Amino acid sequence: MELPAWFQQQEFYTFCALIAVVLLLFGVKRIILVRLKEKARSETSSMSSIYRVLVLSLNAPLTVVILLIFLLLARNVFTWSGLHEQRVPVFLDGVVEAGVIIALFLFAERFFTYSLKRYREQSTLVKNTSAIAGGALRAVLATLTVLIILSNMGVSITPIIASLGITSLAVALALQPTLENFFSGIQLVMDKPIRIGDYIELDSGEQGFVEKIGWRSTWIRMLPNNIVIMPNSKLSNSKLINYYYPERELSVPVEVGVHYSSDLELVEKVCIEVAERILKEHEYGVDTYQPFVLFHTFDNSSINLTIMLRTKEYFNRFFIKSAFIKSLKKRFDEE
């Protein structure tokens, strides 16, 4: 039986050889990725994360590189053999150069993006900056990629760069309040005067827990369970108290008045005994703290004193103060 004419042509065998090479390269790619995955499972936690990021980052760029190799081989083989040279696109060199640039862009963008995803849970700074940093990097890389490709194609990019500069200036002027909040958000994240979960008091007297530090505003959950959304620029210029910084433990002063006829030595002794017991027994007390008493005022009908307690955090001061007052009243009644 005579074989079809197309089966006997040299182009067919050449094409089959090229397909075989491409399949071989895909096999090599798979081996590389499998080895990296094995490395990720066997290495320490830090190195394991790096290998996992490489596996995710290399998949698409390697595919692009293999396709570029196929195009180069096809062009060279058909050119060397003299087969249908007229079918070889004259712009193939530009396509290959653009493909290499795109492959590098894909690798850089994916490596940075997956690195942020891996490490954002380990750092508050990375967690808060990952979204905007990833978006900014993708925009910069995409712009550079397009400019380089256009430059390689012979297109003058000087007018484009000038236009981008003018456009950026116009956008910056139009978005001045937004940019002010944006850079204030960066300042809050970098300087860390407040952190997510901190209990703060604003200069307006409002108090609450920091829920979210965004790029335009900061969300603060108040005690009644409502949310106050404050622009970052206003927050960064405000005076505030952070009750969780540098530590959560907080001194709790309790004002007490006793009659002029009272034995002040006995009053001091009783107050300290009650305070020590409360700090040891109460769930919010700091049992290692040594309470003390200060007499400070001769009032109209009493001598006033302050007992210093210590609680585990600011929000719990009400409970430990209430428990101390009830116990002190009961002890005074017994004396």
Strands 250-258 and 303-311: antiparallel
Q: Kindly state whether residue 185 falls inside one of the protein's structural domains.
A: no
Instruction: Mark whether 51 and 147 lie in a shared domain.
Output: yes
> What digits encode the pLDDT tens for the residues 202-233?
888 888 899 888 777 888 998 888 998 888 88
In this predicted structure, what is the pLDDT of residue 81?
A: 52
Asked if 11 and 108 sit in the same domain, the reply is yes
Q: Do both 227 and 307 map to the same domain?
A: no
The neighbouring-strand residues paired with 292 are 308
- The verdict on residue 180 lying in a domain is no
Domain boundaries, position 65:
5-174
The full DSSP string for 287-309 is: TT---EEEEEEE-SS-EEEEEEE
Q: What integer is the mean pLDDT of 99-120?
A: 79
Q: pLDDT: is 39 or 263 the higher one?
A: 263
CATH number, position 292 = 3.30.70.100
Considering its fold, how many domains does the chain have in total? 3
Domain identity same for 73 and 217: no
| For residue 284, pLDDT beyond 50 | yes
DSSP state of 223: T
| Degrees to nearest 5, angle at CA 305 with 304 and 306 | 140
Please give the model's pTM, rounded to 2 decimal places. 0.54
Q: What is the pLDDT of residue 270?
A: 94
Percent of the chain with pLDDT over 70: 78
Six-digit token pair at 80?
Answer: 């060397």
Buried b / exposed e along 235-271 (16+ C-beta atoms within 10 A): bbeeebebbbeeeeebebebebebeeeeeeeebbebb
As a whole number of angstroms, the distance between CA 25 and CA 71 comes to 13
CATH number of the domain enclosing 232:
2.30.30.60
Measured CA to CA, the distance from residue 293 to residue 279 in angstroms comes to 15
Helix and strand numbers, DSSP H then E, in the chain: 10, 8
- Range with the lowest mean pLDDT among 26-35, 277-286, 297-306? 26-35
Would you call 199 helix, strand, or coil by DSSP?
strand
Residue 182 falls inside a structural domain = no
> Is the confidence at residue 307, as pLDDT, over 60?
yes
Which residues, 6 or more positions from 101, have their beta carbon under 8 angstroms from its beta carbon?
145, 148, 149, 152
The pLDDT of residue 256 is: 93
Q: Please tell me whether the peptide bond between 61 and the residue prior to it is cis, using omega within 30 degrees of 0.
A: no
Task: Give the span between the Cα atoms of 265 and 271, in whole angstroms.
Answer: 10
Percent of the chain with pLDDT over 90: 20
Do residues 169 and 198 share a domain? no
pLDDT tier at 7, thresholds 50, 70, 90: very low
Q: At what angle do helices 317-334 and 264-281 cross, to 10 degrees?
A: 130
- State whether 13 and 142 are in the same domain: yes
67 and 169 belong to one structural domain: yes
Spatial contact of 141 and 109, defined as CB atoms under 8 Å apart: yes
Same domain, 159 and 31: yes
285 secondary structure, DSSP code: B
- Report yes or no on 53 lying in a domain: yes
Residues 300 and 166 in one domain: no
Judgement on whether residues 211 and 277 belong to the same structural domain of the protein = no
* Res. 69 pLDDT band, cuts 50 70 90: confident
The rounded distance, in Å, linking the Cα atoms of 45 and 34 is 18
The predicted model gives 30-55 an average pLDDT of: 74
Q: Name the band, by pLDDT with cuts 50, 70 and 90, for residue 172.
A: low
Q: Are β-strands 207-213 and 241-242 bridged in parallel, bridged antiparallel, or unpaired?
A: unpaired
Tell me the per-residue pLDDT of 308-322, one tens digit each, with 9 for 90 and over. 999 998 888 889 999
CA dist 217 → 55, 94, 235 (Å): 36, 46, 9
2 pLDDT above the threshold of 50? no
* Residue 234 and residue 90 in one domain: no
